[in-house]
Amino acid sequence: MSTQGSSGELRVGMVGYAFMGAAHSQAWRTVNRVFDLPVRATMVAVCGRDGAKVADAASRLGWAEAVTDWRELIARDDIDVIDVCTPGDSHAEIAIAALEAGKHVLCEKPLANTVEEARAMVAAAAKARALGVRSACGFNYRRVPAVSLMRNLIADGRLGAIRHVRAVYLQDWITDPNFPLVWRLQKDKAGSGALGDIGAHIIDLTQFVTGQQITGVTGITETFIKERPLPEASSGLSASAGATTGEVTVDDAAVFVARLSGGGLATYEATRFATGRKNGLKVEINGELGSLVFDLERLNELEYYDATKPAAEQGFSRILVTEGEHPYLSAWWPPGHIIGYEHSFTHEMRDFIEAVATGQDPTPSFEDALQVQLVLDAVEKSDASWVSVLA
């Protein structure tokens, strides 16, 4: 059974070192330099299949060692936490093995590629929890201060009963039909396309801020480009194309409507074909007493409409979320000095470390992530139903 290091360390091993691995590494490097925590995170080793590339990544990202076998990493006595930053097809195998070895686990989203895999991960997490081993799924947008403030305002009743949730996540990085067939476009590796990659974020975010679950959905998905060049080389979200092609086996876009457990209605759109939109996540919550709007491109702000004010004073107001009493911000800069995307991961590690060090269960749990997986699965199944409009 893994325990914290005797000197008050939480010794971390990370599997994967591309886009999410770099983001997580930044957070592990930074978290103890910003927050006063019960233990210190130590970046022991990073794992990847290519020895030369993972050695370079270890040097660049701040890891003490590089290894090429994740099983070796899990078996080590000097590792307390396994941070899973690999494609979805390996999440279940790595996370379950780590939990069974007594390692705490932080796993990137979506939790798995299938509901069955996610259920197996939940079962492993529950068994490990009984032995004091913790686990969480990395939905980092929960840790944007404005999003946490949004949740607090809703929980305080500032919007009253929730009537509508409106959420979009818009990107355009594969609009070029000659963009290569990277792993994110292959179902056996990614599980799904825009639906699971970015749709999972807005599903979790809206359930988090409203405190309500999605209870039913109907939706549609579309793959606009059916074949793409096979990649010659790839890294993160960039790649170079080869001469031969292969089939795209995931969705390029997904749109669905949902019912919430509190009786409200919700709409969701996730696409990687929104030309001109680079990382356009936006959520609007309409309640009986007001509305709140969050836009990731303005992540230090919230828009708030208070319908309880006199009519002459009503209108959307801008809350600049940089005050010391706003979530997480007491550790950063004076009011008005904005933070960025990478800070959400630092906050994620802060919460994970504190939970593990104090014997608490971090959030979102694998159970929370399974709920998101169930929504993704339901959307894919609902796509089989289509009613034609007849003249």
Query: What element of type H or E holds 154?
Result: helix 145-155
Place of tokens 């209108």: 315
- In angstroms, the first-to-last Cα distance of the chain is 67
Contact 292, 284 (CB under 8 A): yes
Give Cα 189 distance to the centre of its chain. Answer: 17
Place of tokens 């004076």: 334
DSSP bridge partners of 46: 14, 66
* C-alpha angle 8-342-175 in degrees, rounded to nearest 5: 140
Q: What is the pLDDT of residue 289?
A: 98
pTM of the model: 0.95
The C-alpha atoms of residue 372 and residue 376 are separated, in whole angstroms, by 6
DSSP H helices in 283-340: none
Output DSSP code: residue 198: I
DSSP bridge partners of 105: 82, 135
What is the pLDDT tens value at each position of the chain, 391 positions in all?
445 544 699 999 999 999 999 999 999 999 999 999 999 999 999 999 999 999 999 999 999 999 999 999 999 999 999 999 999 999 999 999 999 999 999 999 999 999 999 999 999 999 999 999 999 999 999 999 999 999 999 999 999 999 999 999 999 999 999 999 999 999 999 999 999 999 999 999 999 999 999 999 999 999 999 999 999 865 555 566 667 999 999 999 999 999 999 999 999 999 999 999 999 999 999 999 999 999 999 999 999 999 999 999 999 999 999 999 999 999 999 999 999 999 999 999 999 999 999 999 999 999 999 999 999 999 999 976 777 788 7
Letter string b/e over residues 53-73, b meaning 16 or more CB atoms within 10 A of that residue's CB: ebbebbeebebebbbeebeeb
322 to each of 282, 302, 330, how far by Cα in Å? 19, 11, 9
SS3 assignment, position 178? coil
Whose CA is closest to 105, among 68, 75, 138, 78? Answer: 138
The C-alpha atoms of residue 284 and residue 332 are separated, in whole angstroms, by 27
The C-alpha atoms of residue 319 and residue 302 are separated, in whole angstroms, by 5
Whose CA is closest to 203, among 381, 386, 370? Answer: 370
Q: What is the pLDDT of residue 189?
A: 97
141 to each of 91, 182, 204, 206, 240, how far by Cα in Å? 20, 24, 9, 10, 30
SS3 assignment, position 96? helix
Q: What is the pLDDT of residue 240?
A: 64
Q: Are strands 253-260 and 9-15 parallel, antiparallel or unpaired?
A: unpaired
Q: What is the pLDDT of residue 236?
A: 53
The C-alpha atoms of residue 196 and residue 88 are separated, in whole angstroms, by 10
Cis peptide upstream of residue 364 (ω within 30 degrees of 0): yes
